[in-house]
A = this chain, B = another copy of it.
Amino acid sequence: MNLPPLAAIRVFEAAARHGNFTKAAEELGMTQAAVSYQIKLLEERVGSPLFLRLPRQVVLTEIGARLAPATTEAFEILRAAFATTRESADGILTIATIPTFAATWLVPRLGSFQMENPALAVRLKSGREMTDFVRQEADVGIRSGTKEWAGLVCHKLFQANFTPMLSPALAASIGGVKTPADLLKLPILDPSDPWWNIWFSLVGIEKPALRGDLRNRLGDQHLEGRAVLAGQGVGILTPFFFQPELQQGQLIQPFDIVGSSEHAYWLVYPEARRNVPKIRAFRDWMLGQLGEATA
Listed in ascending order, the chain A residues whose CB lies under 8 Å from chain B are 1, 3-4, 6-7, 9-10, 44, 46-49, 52-54, 61-63, 66-67, 70-71, 73-75, 77-86, 88-90, 133-137, 139, 272-273, 276
Contacts and interface: CB of A to CB of B under 8 A. Distances in A.
B46 A63 contact: no
Contacts of A135: 52-54
A52 B136 contact: yes
Contact of A3 (B49, B63, B75): B75
A74 B136 CA distance: 28
Given A1-B82, A6-B7, A52-B135, 14 more contacts: A3-B75, A3-B78, A46-B89, A47-B89, A48-B273, A48-B276, A49-B137, A52-B134, A53-B134, A54-B135, A67-B85, A70-B78, A74-B74, A74-B81
A80 B3 CA distance: 10
A268 to B, nearest CB: 16
Majority DSSP secondary structure for residues of A touching B = helix
Counted per complex, copies of this chain come to 2
A275 to B, nearest CB: 10
Contacts of A9: 6, 78
**8 closest A-B pairs (Cβ-Cβ)?**
A70-B81, A6-B6, A74-B74, A74-B77, A48-B89, A74-B78, A53-B134, A61-B137
Contacts of A133: 49
Nearest to A29: B2
Nearest to A54: B135
A258 to B, nearest CB: 39
A44 B89 CA distance: 12
B75 A75 contact: no
Contacts of A90: 47
Contacts of A272: 44
A254 B194 CA distance: 126
6 contacts: A6-B7, A46-B82, A52-B136, A70-B80, A73-B77, A74-B81
B3 A52 contact: no
B81 A63 contact: no
A125 to B, nearest CB: 12
A137 B82 contact: no
A46 B86 contact: yes
A78 B71 contact: yes
A184 to B, nearest CB: 48
A75 B82 CA distance: 14
A281 B66 CA distance: 25
A133 B61 CA distance: 12
Contact of A4 (B54, B63, B75, B82): B82
